[in-house]
Structure 1
């Protein structure tokens, strides 16, 4: 009886710890503005195609099941299969996979200068989990200035919009 209680206690402590440790084994590269660049939406906002690479260094594989964010001046659109976007991606241990998503910039000036987190949900052999990540800062292409990831995307998109549609 004591052995069963000890095993159960270990499982109650170890599984949540292992699941939390699992989210730290997910590594992100990007986001980079995809080949589609910037498009104007019907309501005048700027749609930006993003390419995000995800690596997993855990045991087995993990499936990224969702991304979300609350960022002033910017919103992550739902997956659009017509644009070849990815809602879920399974990454094997030691491998990289690419996500494609679109963000809309509704107000260039409102996008924060401080790094903003992206929330994600995932599934591993241990079960479902969630975490958040602040993607790496961006270096602006024609300057030697590093800015928060979302601010860099907004600057690039808004500058391109001014050049193309002014």
Structure 2
């Protein structure tokens, strides 16, 4: 999820059929529907408990703040963390990590950006071809374009 999508996420987006509907904070307000796994369902339950414990009504943003205030606060915390710990953490980097993890999960091998190898067009016994994995991943992240997946995964 993008920073804004995750901040505005509400656990009711998880449907009984296991689908997660992401519509708040998306680019262009475009609905994205994903099939959840057990790990994601567990995390959503933890989010629900967190909100309940801290009396947050609508999202993961404290009720006393609007989105812009929350965003400024979060980016300031990350900036301080990076300066204190000599790190280069950024929120969008989590999408890159997920993309590479998901690609390996779908295809059975590391993406080109990590392996420094081009993936052959015709792979032997892939769980999913490079093209199919990129298309699925592109839809999951709401990009709908393969050229963006190349940025996350490297060229095939």
What TM-score, normalized to structure 2?
A: 0.27
Question: Larger strand proportion, structure 1 or 2?
Answer: 1
Higher-Rg structure is 1
| Greater relative contact order structure (CA < 8 Å, 6+ sep) | 1
What TM-score, normalized to structure 1?
A: 0.25
Question: Larger helix proportion, structure 1 or 2?
Answer: 2
